[in-house]
Amino acid sequence: MKDNNDMPGHLARRFQQIAVAVFLAEVGDAGFDMTPVQYAALATIKANPGLDQVTLAGLIAYDRTTITGVIDRLVQKGLAERRASRRDRRARELEVTDEGKRTLRKITPAVESAQRIMLRGLSAKEGEELMRLLHKAIAAGNELSRAPLREVQA
Amino acid sequence: MKDNNDMPGHLARRFQQIAVAVFLAEVGDAGFDMTPVQYAALATIKANPGLDQVTLAGLIAYDRTTITGVIDRLVQKGLAERRASRRDRRARELEVTDEGKRTLRKITPAVESAQRIMLRGLSAKEGEELMRLLHKAIAAGNELSRAPLREVQA
DNA sequence: TACTGATAGTCAGCATACTGAGCAATATCG
DNA sequence: CGATATTGCTCAGTATGCTGACTATCAGTA
């Protein structure tokens, strides 16, 4: 009888659950109110100023319907801006505000600390191996979800 | 500049995202409408007939407030029953119905197929190593989430 | 036994995620 | 050019997951 705990799907869920809890705890202790999803979106906007929502979704593998709400909240907190594009009036160009940049700078240590904590049961070598295997499994399954990773076109 | 894709938290999210999509696709193709969370709950009730909701939550590491809705849906589909306990009038005893048992039997091949697909990018050895590392990381982080795994007391 | 604390379950509220539908704008092709 | 297809975004609806609060009940103790 196969136990739930021997199923990769169940382990995936539990690891993610812990990862989110650790992230929120570290970031919260540092005095910030931001989710992992919001952080990834904000950091990606900063690295690609002026990108549109679909491109952002592709870069971090979010569903396009999820991005809408995430950006709503970043905008509402004053960390990002959403402007109509002039080249394509359907699209919204995204920018990080000055306060968003300040927040990103100050929050980074807590984010990095969270990444260490969620691997604290593993040696450095095991941690790297886990990352490698996750990468490989994800690459093979990328197209199986509605929100696959998409590279930017040059 | 550390990329999102080098952060274990982000990889955890993506792997889980793919795992859920694969599960829903396989189970849906087999003609069933069940989520990974519902499946784990139903299978665990079947393996521990008469258990209460808090114990169930501990066995699969769900939050107790999440369990309520999951069981609501299992009951609504006619797959499980919720009865008041006679020993403790606060508690609800959970059972799998006959149809729930039939469903579990018939759905198992699709569930196992999903587990294989989500590891299809890895060799058998790599798949086992990924499971081992996830187990180890999860064990170390178990107490960091609000819904840790709890063993049953004998 | 009365008081205190802990426990089982639910609920409201918020934040992902997804399905499917729809609108507006752009791209493509006959 | 005009019909059609595609694309960017949003919205309604559903299902996790969590925080925090609340009720009912139970357990332990003075």
Q: Specify the residue for token string 């008469």.
A: B50
Rg (CA), chain B: 17
For the residues B37-60, what does the mean pLDDT come to?
A: 97
B1: pLDDT strictly greater than 60: no
Q: Specify the residue for token string 């069981």.
A: B71
For the residues B87-104, what does the mean pLDDT come to?
A: 97
B87 in contact with nucleic chain C (CB within 7 A): no
Nucleotides of C under 7 A from a protein CB: 7-13, 15-21, 24-27
pLDDT (0 to 100) of residue B4: 80
| Cβ–Cβ below 8 Å for A134 and B21 | no
B53 in contact with nucleic chain C (CB within 7 A): yes
- Using 50, 70 and 90 to split pLDDT, how confident is the model at B152? low
| Per-residue CA distances from B93 to A29, A69, B45 (Å) | 39, 38, 10
- Separation between Cα atoms, residue A118 and residue B8, nearest integer Å: 8
pLDDT (0 to 100) of residue B68: 98
| Cβ–Cβ below 8 Å for B18 and A144 | yes
As given in the structure block, the two tokens for residue B29 are 């193709």
A59 closest CA partner among A151, A154, A153: A151
Rg (CA), chain A: 17
Is A14-144 assigned to CATH 1.10.1060.10?
Answer: no
pLDDT tens per residue across all 154 residues of chain A: 568 888 999 999 999 999 999 999 999 999 999 999 999 999 999 999 999 999 999 999 999 999 999 999 999 999 999 999 999 999 999 999 999 999 999 999 999 999 999 999 999 999 999 999 999 999 999 999 989 998 765 4
- Separation between Cα atoms, residue B46 and residue B82, nearest integer Å: 13
Nucleotide D21 C1' to residue B65 CA (A)? 12
Q: DSSP letter at A83?
A: E
A81 in contact with nucleic chain D (CB within 7 A): no
Note the Cα A49 to chain centre separation in Å. 17
Is B7-118 assigned to CATH 3.20.20.70?
Answer: no
